[in-house]
Amino acid sequence: MSARDLDRAAARGEPSYVWRAGQERRLRLILEAAGERARGRILDDGCGVGQYLAHLANGAALAVGLEFDAQHANAAASRGLPVTRGASESLPFPSGFFDLVLSHEVLEHVRDDRAALREIVRVLRKPGGRLVLFAPNRGYPFETHGVYWRGRYRFGNIPLVNYLPRQLRDRLAPHVRVYRRDDLDMLLEGLPVRVVERRIIFGAYDNIIARWPRLGRILRAALHYLERT
């Protein structure tokens, strides 16, 4: 990517492109949740341009990515990363193959999130495999994927959209889902899994810190403290 593209990605906070404090922190959380599975066979489901995949590959016996978007998949492959084009609802891997599957802010974008989770569970080793899943919380006060308003897409962090009634919220943001705890429980119902841990994770607010360092660091410290309450 060009410097201009990277600057644009950073301004938008696209985790597929940038690697800053927020991504470094999430990598630590992923490795903590994975435990010894991080040394086994890993699938990064929806790997984007391969930022997390590249780091996970350092200590893994095998780390592969799956990516639906051709441009992202080609960018990851150009870095020498093993990436397969495909959809999360139909994973081209054998059952029980992976020790760890990472799904980082992907589930909300797929066509059928129930089918995608079913496929992830299928390819995980049993017993002992683990899914590390990041998905947007409906309680978060901003819709970070933008909204459609009067026929036009408006990019940005739009406040309070996720607090609207579901039908209205989904009309404004039909391109992305948000989840409550019971939404995820319903998706997992009937699958041979158990939830080991749930956590609310706030962002690192790198963009705010870049513009207003003192305010941004106070905000980051306060919200990261609240994660532990």
* Domains of the chain and any CATH numbers: 1-135+179-197 (3.40.50.150), 137-178 (no CATH), 199-229 (no CATH)
Dig out the tokens for 81 from the structure: 């990363």
Note the pLDDT tens digit of each residue in 178-216.
Answer: 999 999 999 999 999 999 999 998 888 888 888 898 998
User: Is the predicted pLDDT of residue 17 greater than 80, yes or no?
Assistant: no
User: Is the predicted pLDDT of residue 5 greater than 60, yes or no?
Assistant: no
pTM for this predicted structure? 0.89
What beta strand segments (E) does 12-151 contain?
Answer: 41-45, 62-67, 83-85, 100-104, 130-134, 142-143, 147-149
Note the pLDDT tens digit of each residue in 97-131.
Answer: 999 999 999 999 999 999 999 999 999 999 999 99
Contact 89, 120 (CB under 8 A): no
